[in-house]
């Protein structure tokens, strides 16, 4: 995709009237979220009367805030750290992806007053792979055993991929394997040497993230098969240490921004009634804020 800054003057002005459709993102903090930039870009691009706002909500006020948004006429909301498990418990109805992920990142406020919970992270990740020309097949190894790992692992399993997980804390990896039947566990000190038997490697941790616990995370990929696809859900920086190492070895790579963009489509479609397009212009606009 092109990294050229899009010409925003070519976009229509965003429409906001008394009939505007409302949605937002709940998090604590939430200032880092690029979701408002992403959704408001789509709203302007498609001339939709609506707005999407950041909603900083403390954990102890989460349930009250969600009910307040619903009462105020919001169509729904995204949910980010640290509220995804609380959102799972609050939803009246859970779709298949949310039950598999054990978390909710998208609320749909139904007209009958109920709250439907979805998890779009895993499907967004798979869509980002597919858009890059790397439909997942064969065997995948995931680094990490947190909520993102579970979402990605479940989505890959649902598409017939054999998934293994490796985590620095073995107990967490084993707990994830118990939650998702058929998931294998690879000890952290052994995954590098076993890499040759996998078709896809995914970093679902914050390792290598700008400001994260280990921004210089650079594992050895010397045992990787030539066809290995290396993906990272981190999108700041664009070229993480893991992806840089993979590119140096001539391996195919998929960055984390695509997952962010693709996971947003389902919520937007539900709230605003339009299926938005993920393209180079959108990626350039969101990337310009990173």
- 7 touches 34 (CB < 8 A): no
Radius of gyration of the chain (CA): 19
Task: Please give the helix or strand (H or E) that residue 153 lies within, else none.
Answer: helix 147-158
User: What DSSP line would sit under 12-70, residue for residue?
Assistant: PPPB--TT-EEEEEEESS-TT--HHHHHHHHHHHTT-BEEEEEEE--GGGHHHHHHHHH
User: What DSSP line would sit under 270-285, residue for residue?
Assistant: HHHS------HHHHHH
Token pair 């804020």 is at which residue? 289
Task: Catalytic residue, from 19, 84, 139, 252: name it.
Answer: 84
For residue 61, report the phi and psi dihedrals to the nearest 5 degrees: -110, 10
Q: How do strand 229-232 and strand 252-254 relate by DSSP bridges?
A: parallel
Nearest to 140 by CA among 119, 121, 157: 157
User: Does residue 252 carry a catalytic annotation?
Assistant: no
Active site residues: 84
């Amino acid at each position: 995709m092109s990294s050229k800054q899009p010409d925003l003057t070519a976009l229509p002005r965003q429409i906001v009237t008394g009939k505007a459709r409302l949605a937002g993102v709940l998090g604590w903090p939430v200032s880092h979220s690029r979701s408002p930039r992403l959704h408001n870009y789509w709203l302007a691009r498609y001339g939709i009367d609506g707005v999407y706002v950041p909603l900083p909500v403390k954990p102890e006020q989460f349930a009250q805030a969600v009910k307040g948004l619903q009462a105020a006429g919001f169509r729904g909301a995204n949910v980010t750290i640290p509220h995804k498990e609380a959102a799972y418990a609050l939803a009246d109805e859970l779709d298949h992806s949310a039950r598999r992920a054990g978390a909710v990142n998208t609320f749909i406020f139904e007209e009958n007053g109920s709250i439907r919970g979805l998890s779009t992270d895993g499907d967004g990740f798979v869509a980002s792979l597919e858009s890059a020309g790397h439909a997942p097949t064969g065997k995948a190894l995931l680094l990490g055993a947190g909520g993102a790992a579970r979402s990605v692992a479940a989505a890959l399993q649902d598409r017939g991929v054999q998934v293994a997980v490796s985590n620095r804390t073995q107990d967490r990896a084993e707990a994830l394997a118990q939650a998702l039947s058929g998931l294998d566990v690879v000890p952290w000190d052994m995954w590098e040497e076993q890499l040759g038997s996998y078709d896809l490697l995914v970093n679902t941790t914050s390792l290598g993230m700008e400001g994260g616990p280990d921004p210089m995370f650079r594992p050895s990929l010397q045992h990787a098969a030539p066809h290995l696809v290396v993906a990272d859900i981190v999108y700041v920086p664009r070229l993480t240490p893991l992806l840089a190492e993979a590119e140096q070895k001539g391996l195919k790579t998929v960055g984390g921004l695509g997952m962010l963009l693709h996971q947003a489509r389902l919520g937007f479609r539900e709230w605003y009634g339009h299926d938005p397009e993920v393209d180079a212009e959108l990626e350039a606009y969101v990337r310009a804020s990173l």
